[in-house]
A and B are shown apart, each in its own frame.
Chain A
């Protein structure tokens, strides 16, 4: 086969794969631009008269379905969940890499946690939260999101810190810096890249988490991944598919955009997480 033909074939396969694997988002976006009349007349992928009406309709029904509330919940919980995970994992990873503490038991325990289905802990956590009045609170869900993110953060930090040059830290120590100051002013700035990578991935995982959002929240702290499915219940018998599609697009947009712009960072940390784990 000629070179150009093979190259053409590669492009064809690439485009087809992208379309097939992203089909849910593409198709839902197309539907979200259609009027209800057009949706019931023809479900095809062609939009006769594109309109933003469905997106406007979401904000007109805030008394029954408050999407801004769900989005705000997701944003706050994901941010907290990522910050907690990084705040706990970073000093621990430093101690494991430099002081050799917990390397034998804590590191393998946390890393292997990724292979344990977290639903195992879901029921006692539910009962515990009930007593602590953490059910349906943003803090409660953020703590669980932290659990979800800690293993990956620890794996990434462990390898990153082990690769940092020791000389700079030694110099800072000679100058009399305490370990805490060292962590904040020397080690963290040198690890900004990996901290950013871990944060982005943790934020996306948190935003997309569903099981604990479903179990531990009912309304006040419900994240948008769960809230979006409420729409089907809120609209009663006849689902307004155009509006439903618009809801799904809005709920997906933040991690999607983040993924598009930070794909390099995400790709690196996903690969590193898989290989070291």
Chain B
């Protein structure tokens, strides 16, 4: 076999190996995306689902004019930024402070990782019990110690409650990634810094943190993306309660489709969300290249 013939057969074989995955994704994501596009510029209802009438950008205009759409976008953005900021800060602090313990006894990490093994939907349900006015542990101890317990799901507090619930469950992710990044710093680098007379704080600021920079950025992006699209725990804990104060982008789309039955609006909002995630992705790739 000549070299080029071999290369050709290699390529053919390669295409055969990626064909199943490609086909699968085309059917389960490509085709739906196409439907999304078509429906978002059509007048469509459950009766006319097979014959959408293309009308233009009306659905987009409707979404963009909807106050609830903007309040959902604002909720998701605020929630995503705040939650990932908290998780990053606390996770970083824990990763550095607990380093000596975790280096000597790696199995301790198992207990810090456990929260990530629980379904966020179930965590939401669990907090429904924990924060319950009459049978909840949290109100019980708060009133015992401070004589009063806040209304966790009032208009003002629902957001904070959700931030706390989400942060407590996913700080372990930041801790895990940053711990790995911290222990990957070569010993020689630290020793060199120590030889140069750098104290612990100085070493942290000028050696450790800069070296962990990429890991810190990646952690923040992953957590931001995940918390921006939050659905499960919000849905099981408060639904869209608190007067719509807890409607995230995902919940908005879900409700537009299942509660209101407005397919056009729901898919237009989906496409806008997709555009938004492209912006984030672009920023991520830009940051990764630097």
Interface of A toward B, CB cutoff 8 Å: 7, 10-11, 13-14, 17-18, 20-25, 27-28, 30-31, 39-40, 42-45, 87-89, 91-92, 94-96, 98-102, 106, 109-110, 112-117, 119-128, 143-144, 146-147, 150, 154, 179, 204, 207-211, 214-215, 225-226, 228-229, 232, 241, 244-245, 248, 251-252, 255-256, 258-260, 263-264, 266-267, 270-271, 274-275, 277
Assembled-state Cα–Cα distance A156/B96 (Å): 27
Assembled-state Cα–Cα distance A207/B235 (Å): 18
Given the known inter-chain contacts A23-B168, A117-B249, A208-B120, please indicate yes or no for A275 contacting B21, CB distance below 8 A: no
Assembled-state Cα–Cα distance A204/B177 (Å): 18
Q: Return chain A residues, CB-CB under 8 Å to B114.
A: 18, 21-22, 25, 256, 259-260
Q: Out of A40, A215, A252, which one reaches B135, CB within 8 Å?
A: A40
Q: Out of B126, B140, B236, B250, which one reaches A28, CB within 8 Å?
A: B126
Given the known inter-chain contacts A119-B250, A123-B270, A275-B218, please indicate yes or no for A42 contacting B140, CB distance below 8 A: yes
User: Does B14 contact A99, Cβ atoms closer than 8 Å?
Assistant: yes
Given the known inter-chain contacts A14-B108, A241-B135, please indicate yes or no for A267 contacting B273, CB distance below 8 A: no
Q: Return chain A residues, CB-CB under 8 Å to B136.
A: 43
Beyond the given A45-B137, A248-B129, please list 4 additional residue pairs across the A-B interface where CB-CB is below 8 A.
A18-B114, A143-B28, A248-B122, A264-B106
User: Does B109 contact A267, Cβ atoms closer than 8 Å?
Assistant: yes
Question: Of the 9-residue stretches B55-63, B152-160, B189-197, B276-284, which lies at the interface with chain A?
Answer: B276-284
Q: How large is the interface on B (under 10, 10 to 19, 20 to 34, 35 or more residues)?
A: 35 or more
Assembled-state Cα–Cα distance A248/B122 (Å): 7
B68 interface residue, CB < 8 Å from A? Answer: no
User: Does B25 contact A110, Cβ atoms closer than 8 Å?
Assistant: yes
Q: Return chain B residues, CB-CB under 8 Å to A258.
A: 117
Assembled-state Cα–Cα distance A263/B222 (Å): 20
A-B contact pairs, 28 of them (CB 8 A): A10-B101, A14-B101, A27-B137, A28-B126, A28-B130, A31-B129, A31-B137, A42-B140, A44-B137, A92-B22, A99-B14, A101-B15, A120-B277, A122-B254, A123-B270, A127-B49, A210-B121, A210-B231, A211-B250, A214-B235, A241-B132, A248-B122, A256-B117, A259-B117, A263-B107, A263-B110, A266-B113, A277-B218
Q: Out of A27, A96, A121, A127, which one reaches B18, CB within 8 Å?
A: A96
B209 interface residue, CB < 8 Å from A? Answer: no
Q: Out of B18, B28, B127, which one reaches A106, CB within 8 Å?
A: B18
Q: Return chain A residues, CB-CB under 8 Å to B286.
A: none
B118 interface residue, CB < 8 Å from A? Answer: yes
User: Does B21 contact A92, Cβ atoms closer than 8 Å?
Assistant: yes
Assembled-state Cα–Cα distance A120/B277 (Å): 10
Query: Could you tell me which residues of chain B, from 6 to 46, have a CB within 8 Å of some CB in chain A?
Result: 10-11, 13-15, 17-18, 20-22, 24-25, 28-29, 31-33, 35-36, 39
Q: Out of B17, B125, B258, which one reaches A215, CB within 8 Å?
A: B258
Q: Return chain A residues, CB-CB under 8 Å to B21.
A: 88-89, 91-92, 106, 110, 150, 154
User: Does B137 contact A121, Cβ atoms closer than 8 Å?
Assistant: no
